[in-house]
Amino acid sequence: MSCKSTLLGASHFLQLSRLNHLVTCICFWVCLYSDITIYLFKWSRTPVKFSSDSAVRTTGYFGDLRKMAPVYKVHYFDIHGRAEPIRLLLTYGNLNFEDKRYSQEEWAKFKPSTPLGQMPCLEVDGKLINQSTPICRYLGKVVGLGGKDNWEDLLIDVAVENLGDLHKKIMEMAFEQDAGKKKSMEEDLVKKDLPFFLEKFEETAKKNGGYFALNRLSWADIMFTCAYETYKNVISTDVWPKYPNLLKVKDNVLKVQSLQDWIKKRPANKMFSKFDLKQEL
């Protein structure tokens, strides 16, 4: 081969390899950008988990990637009652909520639009949900006061249901209209049911280091603290000094600054006004 043809060959080779290089580069960048595009597309369609809420929203294409907090509204009467643990849980989680309190006249109008003709209801982004305990269970999870697995959820649920069994008896007595019957129901409670349940709860609270379950704050403690407030109103005997660990449960809840703030500023309980938790802050 002549020198000229060798040079021509080399120059062709170089041109070809430059071309190759250019093509490779283009392919590389096209692949990279399409990967990124696909990734971004998938990411934008992936439901976003909010730190404050397990409720999920898709954010659409590249449109709205802002985290949007759900809009909460608590519907209840102007009393503490079954809505108060819900209000406390929302407060604990720093979740803004509208605290709608119905007069009887307003309630008569609103009742037919509730799922079971009862309150409390929690409205989450316009969806109206009834049943206070499942609402508290849901909010407990949302605000980080649920269990970390199914077993822990079960332990919290059991504690709440145990409390519920006592609660039913106490509220039957509290709402009894016949004064004589009410007095004997209260005597029975103080002699039998209260010691039975509270001793068991005291043991549980002792085992759990001043909590109702899991050795840490859970939504069960919030339920207990609200129940404690009600019991202090409707039971005239001071049964509590015998149960120091149960008192610790309430104290652990009342230690939370946001809950203290709420308890100080919330409207007074129109149903039971003798005792308010703020007296123990």
Least gap, CB of 222 to ligand GSH (angstroms): 15
Q: Is 163 in the site for ligand GSH (CB under 6 A)?
A: no
Token pair belonging to 20: 């190759």
Interatomic CA distance for residues 117 and 66, integer angstroms: 36
Residue selected from 53, 74, 75, 82 as contacting ligand GSH according to rule CB under 6 A:
82
Helix, coil or strand: residue 57: strand
Helix (H) / strand (E) containing 89? helix 84-92
For ligand GSH, the closer of residues 100 and 206 by Cβ is 100
* CA 52, chain centre distance (Å): 9
Neighbours of 257 (CB within 10 A): 7
Handedness of CA 151, 154, 155, 156 (dihedral sign): positive
Enumerate residues 132-161 that contact ligand GSH by CB under 6 A: 132-133
For ligand GSH, the closer of residues 84 and 202 by Cβ is 84
| Helix pair angle (244-254, 219-234), 10° resolution | 110
Q: Is 81 in the site for ligand GSH (CB under 6 A)?
A: yes
Interatomic CA distance for residues 127 and 118, integer angstroms: 15
Token pair belonging to 211: 């909590």
Least gap, CB of 131 to ligand GSH (angstroms): 5
Residues 106-125 as x/- pattern, contact with ligand GSH by CB under 6 A: -----x-----xxxx-----
Q: Which stretch binds ligand GSH (CB under 6 A): 15-23, 56-64, 131-139, 214-222?
A: 131-139
Q: Which stretch binds ligand GSH (CB under 6 A): 13-21, 34-42, 130-138, 200-208?
A: 130-138
Least gap, CB of 134 to ligand GSH (angstroms): 9
The site for ligand GSH (CB under 6 A) is made up of 81-82, 111, 117-120, 130-133
